[in-house]
A and B are shown apart, each in its own frame.
Chain A
Amino acid sequence: MRMMSIRRHLLVWLLPGFLLLWAGAGSAIYFSIKQRHEAQLDAELRELWAALPFGDRSARVSLLSIEDFAKDDFGIYFQIWDQQGNRILKSENLGRFELPQTGSFGSEPEYRDQRLGNGDLVRTLSVGSTGGSLGPLKMIVATSWEENTADLRKSLIAIIAVGLLTGIGFAILLSLALRSGLKPLVGVGEQASRIEADTLSTRFPTKGLPGELRPIAERLNDLMSRLEESFAREKRFGADLAHEFRTPVAALRSLAEVAIKWPEQTSIEDYEDVLEISCELQVTIENLLTLARLENAKEQLVSEQIKVHALIEDCWLLFAPRATERGLAFRNSIDPDLTFESDPKLLRLIITNLLSNAAEYATGNSDILVTGDVTGLFVTNPAPHLTKDDLPKMFDRLWRHDQARTDSSHSGLGLSLAKTCAEVLSFDLTADLEGGSVRFSLKTS
C-alpha cells in the first residue's frame, strides 16, 4: 500500500482538526451569547412580572390593569388561570392561541422556552399566586425571542464565516509552511532517489539542514561512505579475481592452441607449465572455497586447550626452508605453558597464514618475532614497503601489495583466510605499522 506523503498526512489531520476545534469554540461562543440573551430575557420577564400588579404578589389584583399592560403587541404575552386551570385572562395579542400551561406555579418564578401556536418562540416566566379576591392564580408572562433570535443567527453566521475564512487561511498557511518546512526533507529524498551504484561518491549536504534532519543526513553519509568502500572493495576483488583466473587461463589456452597448431614445437616444458598453472589455479580455487565455507563454520567448531608455543613451532616448520633461503631469523618468545581455548584447525590456519605471510614478505635478512600472552598473540616483521593506506586493504580477498600480481605462487588469499577464521573464532585480527615493521595482532578477547 502506498504511504500518504507527510504533507498530505499533516494536512489531512491538521485541517479537519482545526475545523473541529473551531466548531467547538464557535459552539461555546454561540451558547455563551445565547445564555447572555436568556439572562437578559429572564431579567426583562422579572421586570415585567414585578411591574404587573399581579407581580407584587399583593392580593389586590386588578385584571383591568393587566389587560392594559399587554394590549399592544410588543411581543409580550401573559395568561392567567385559576387553580383549576380555567383561563381567567390572557393578553389580546395571543389572539386565538394560548400560552401552554406548564410549570409548577410555585411562589418562585420558573423560566423556559416555549413555542406558541402562532409559531413564535417565547421565553416564559411561570409563577403562582396564593391570595387575592380571585383566589390562588397561575400566571405566565412571556416575551418573544424574535429580536434575540435574529441576533443569535447573526452571531452564528459570523462564527461560521470566520471559521470558514480562518480555515481557508489556515489551510493556505499550513500548506505553505509544510512546503517550506519539508523542503529540506524533500531535497534529501530526491537526492537519495538519484543514488546509483556509480554515484556512491555523492554526499548529502549537512550545512543548512534543519536540526532534525542533520543526524539523518550524517548517518546516510556515513552509510554511503561504507557502501562506497564496500563497492570499491568488491570492484577490486572482481578485477583481482579476473586477473587471478584470466591470465592463467589465457596461458593454458595459448599453450594448447600453439601445441595444436605447431605440434612439432611442443616440448615437455609446455606440459610442466600446464601442470604448474593448474596447481596454482587449484590452490586459488580451494582457498576461495575455504573462505566461502568458513562463513558457515561456526556450527562445526571444536573447543580445545591448545598449547600456542608448540603450535607455532609446528606451523613454522613449513616455512623454515623459505625463511632460511631469505636469511630470516625466527623467534618464538611465547611462554610454552600458554594455552588458548579454541578450535585447533582454525587456529592452525590463522597461524600458518600469518607465518607464511611473514616468511614471504618480511624484508630479507631480518627477524620475525612472535610474542603473546593470554590476551592474544603478535607476529612482527620488518615491512618498509607497506604504507598506512595498505592496512585497511590487507585482509581483502586477493589483495596484494604488488599491483601487477606477478607472483603467481601467491593468490593474496592468506590474510583474508586468517581474518575470516579469526572472526569465526570470535578473535580480532588486526594489522598496524610501527617503525617500518608490520605487527599482526590476534586478540582473544
Chain B
Amino acid sequence: MRVLFIEDSKHLRKPVIKALKASGYAADDAADGEEGLWLAQNHDFDVIVLDLMLPKIDGLTVLTKLREGGVTTPVLILSARDTVEDRIKGLRTGADDYLVKPFSIDELLARVETLSRRTYEKRSSKVQVADLVLDSATKTATRDGQPLDLPPQQFGLLEYLMLRAGQVVSRSEIEEHIYDTNACVMSNVIDSAMNRLRKAISVGEGSKPLIHTRRGHGYILEERDS
C-alpha cells in the first residue's frame, strides 16, 4: 500500500511518514500543494493524507483538481481546522475522511488502513486465501494457524497481493504501490522480494505455493489445486 502525505510542517511529516513506513506502507511526502498535486496526479497512491493550509496551492484546491482530473484515490484530510463547516466543506469537496490535529497516530493509521481497503472493496480488515490469513488492523499474518514474521515491506507486498487475490499484478503496479519515490527499484528487486515472500509464507513442506508467476505479465496470488 502506498500513501502520500501532503503537509507543510516538517516536524509533523517526519513522525507520520515514519509511522506509515513502520506499518508496512510505502510513504511519500510533499511539503506544499503544488508538489503534492503533481505526485498525486503522476503516481498511483492507495491513500492521500492531505493538510488544508498549504503553501502554493491550498489543500481544498488540490483536492478539487484531483477530483476534476479523475483521480479517485481516497483522501483523508488532516487539518487544524476543526469547525463543522470546515469538515463539511472538506467532505463535500471530495474527501473521504477528516481528522483534526492533534490526533493519535494509531487513529490515523486505522483510518488510512480503512481507506486503503476501500480501494479494493474490502470491508473487513481480514483477508484469507487458502490457509493464509492477513489482518491489516493488527498487522499480522498466519499460515495454517502459524504466525508469520514479516518485515513491514514484505507485509505490505503480501497485503497488496492478497487484496488483489486472483488478479495478475504487474511489476509496475507492485513498484507503484509498494515502493515510495525514494526507493531505487532495480530490475530484479521485485523478483527478489517475491522470492523472499514466497519463502516467508511457506511454513512447512505441506504449504502449497500461493504466489505464482505469469511470465510477461507479473504475479498472481491464488490457491491452485495441484
Q: Which residues of A approach B to under 8 Å, CB–CB?
A: 239, 242-243, 246-255, 257-258, 261-262, 265, 269-270, 273, 276-277, 402-406, 408
Would A408 and B22 count as touching, CB distance under 8 A? no
Partner of B8, one of A250, A261, A265, A406: A406
Point out the residues of chain B lying under 8 angstroms from A262, CB to CB.
18-19, 22
Say yes or no: is B104 at the interface (Cβ < 8 Å to chain A).
Answer: yes
Q: How far is the CA of A265 from the CA of B11 in the complex (A)?
A: 16
Would A258 and B18 count as touching, CB distance under 8 A? yes
> Of all chain B residues, which has the CB nearest A245?
B80
Q: Which of A252, A277, A404, A408 has the most chain B CB within a 10 Å cutoff?
A: A404
Point out the residues of chain B lying under 8 angstroms from A249, CB to CB.
101-102
Would B80 and A406 count as touching, CB distance under 8 A? no
Would B54 and A254 count as touching, CB distance under 8 A? no
Interface members, chain B 22-59 (any A CB < 8 Å): 22, 31-32, 53-56, 58
> Of all chain A residues, which has the CB nearest B9?
A247
**Contacts beyond the supplied A247-B80, A250-B101: 18 A-B pairs with Cβ under 8 Å:** A246-B82, A246-B100, A248-B9, A253-B102, A253-B103, A254-B16, A254-B102, A257-B15, A257-B104, A258-B18, A258-B22, A261-B22, A403-B53, A403-B58, A404-B55, A405-B53, A406-B9, A406-B55
Point out the residues of chain A lying under 8 angstroms from B22, CB to CB.
258, 261-262, 265
> Of all chain B residues, which has the CB nearest A243?
B80
Partner of A265, one of B18, B80, B101: B18
> Of all chain A residues, which has the CB nearest B15?
A254
Q: How far is the CA of A130 from the CA of B39 in the complex (A)?
A: 140
Q: Tell me if A's interface is mostly helix, strand, loop or mixed.
A: helix
Say yes or no: is B105 at the interface (Cβ < 8 Å to chain A).
Answer: yes
Shortest CB distance A119–B (Å):
91
> Of all chain A residues, which has the CB nearest B8?
A406
Q: Which residues of B approach A to under 8 Å, CB–CB?
A: 8-9, 11-12, 14-16, 18-19, 22, 31-32, 53-56, 58, 80-82, 100-106
> Of all chain A residues, which has the CB nearest B152?
A262
Q: How far is the CA of A252 from the CA of B12 in the complex (A)?
A: 8
Would B105 and A254 count as touching, CB distance under 8 A? yes
Q: How far is the CA of A32 from the CA of B12 in the complex (A)?
A: 100
Q: Tell me if B's interface is mostly helix, strand, loop or mixed.
A: loop
Partner of A250, one of B54, B81, B102: B102
Would B12 and A247 count as touching, CB distance under 8 A? yes
> Of all chain B residues, which has the CB nearest A266?
B18
Q: How far is the CA of A247 from the CA of B32 in the complex (A)?
A: 15
Q: How far is the CA of A406 from the CA of B57 in the complex (A)?
A: 12
On whether A254 and B19 interact (CB within 8 A), knowing A239-B81, A242-B81, A261-B105, the answer reads yes
Q: Which of A247, A269, A276 has the most chain B CB within a 10 Å cutoff?
A: A247
> Of all chain A residues, which has the CB nearest B20?
A258
Partner of A404, one of B54, B81, B101: B54
Shortest CB distance A249–B (Å):
4
Point out the residues of chain B lying under 8 angstroms from A276, CB to CB.
11
Would A277 and B80 count as touching, CB distance under 8 A? no
Point out the residues of chain B lying under 8 angstroms from A243, CB to CB.
53, 80-81
Would B11 and A404 count as touching, CB distance under 8 A? no
Provide 20 A-B residue pairs closer than 8 Å at the C-beta atoms, listed in order of the A residue. A246-B80, A246-B82, A246-B101, A247-B101, A251-B9, A251-B11, A251-B15, A253-B102, A253-B104, A254-B102, A257-B104, A258-B105, A261-B105, A262-B22, A270-B14, A270-B15, A273-B14, A402-B55, A405-B53, A408-B11
Point out the residues of chain B lying under 8 angstroms from A277, CB to CB.
11
> Of all chain A residues, which has the CB nearest B82?
A242
> Of all chain A residues, which has the CB nearest B78?
A250
Q: How far is the CA of A83 from the CA of B53 in the complex (A)?
A: 123
Point out the residues of chain A lying under 8 angstroms from B11, CB to CB.
248, 251, 255, 273, 276-277, 408
Point out the residues of chain B lying under 8 angstroms from A254, CB to CB.
12, 15-16, 19, 102-103, 105
Point out the residues of chain A lying under 8 angstroms from B58, CB to CB.
403-404
Point out the residues of chain A lying under 8 angstroms from B12, CB to CB.
247, 250-251, 254
Shortest CB distance A275–B (Å):
11
Would A404 and B8 count as touching, CB distance under 8 A? yes
Point out the residues of chain B lying under 8 angstroms from A253, CB to CB.
102-105
Q: How far is the CA of A277 from the CA of B12 in the complex (A)?
A: 10
Q: How far is the CA of A262 from the CA of B9 in the complex (A)?
A: 21
Would B103 and A250 count as touching, CB distance under 8 A? yes
Q: How far is the CA of A273 from the CA of B9 in the complex (A)?
A: 11
